[in-house]
Amino acid sequence: NMAVHYVNRGSEDQTDVIVKADVREPGGSVTSYEVPIAVVTPGQDTLVNFPAYFPSPGLGKYDVVFSNNKFNESGDTVVASFEITEYT
C-alpha cells in the first residue's frame, strides 16, 4: 500500500486537509487518490494511508506524486518511484 507523512508546520490547526497521490503510469495514464483529514494540530505528524493500487499490465517506471491542499511550494511535493521489469 502507499503511504506518506503529512506534518502541520504551522502554528494553527489546519482543517479540511486533502492529501493526494497521483500515480503516473509508463503509458501516460494517471490514477489519483485523495484522503481527507478533518483536523491536523500544529506540529502533528500524520501517516496517511491510501487505498491499494494495482498497476496496469506491462513493464515500466511508475511515479507517485504526493501533494496536499495546504502547502504549495516545490519542496512540499514528494515523488516516489517504482519499476516493473521482466524480473519483478
**How much is the average pLDDT of 15-42?**
97
Instruction: Inform me whether the pLDDT recorded for 15 exceeds 90.
Output: yes
> In this model, does residue 72 exceed pLDDT 90?
no
For the chain, helix, strand, coil in percent to 5 are 5, 55, 40
Q: Assign 56 a pLDDT band (cuts: 50, 70, 90).
A: confident
Q: How far apart are CA 69 and CA 56, in angstroms?
A: 28
In the chain, the amino acid numbered 58 is G
pLDDT score for 57: 87
d(CA 37, CA 7): 12
pLDDT bracket for residue 74 (50, 70, 90):
confident
pTM exceeding the 0.85 threshold for the entire prediction: yes
Task: Report the mean per-residue pLDDT for the chain.
Answer: 95
Alpha-carbon distance values, 51 to 37, 73, 75 (Å): 15, 26, 24
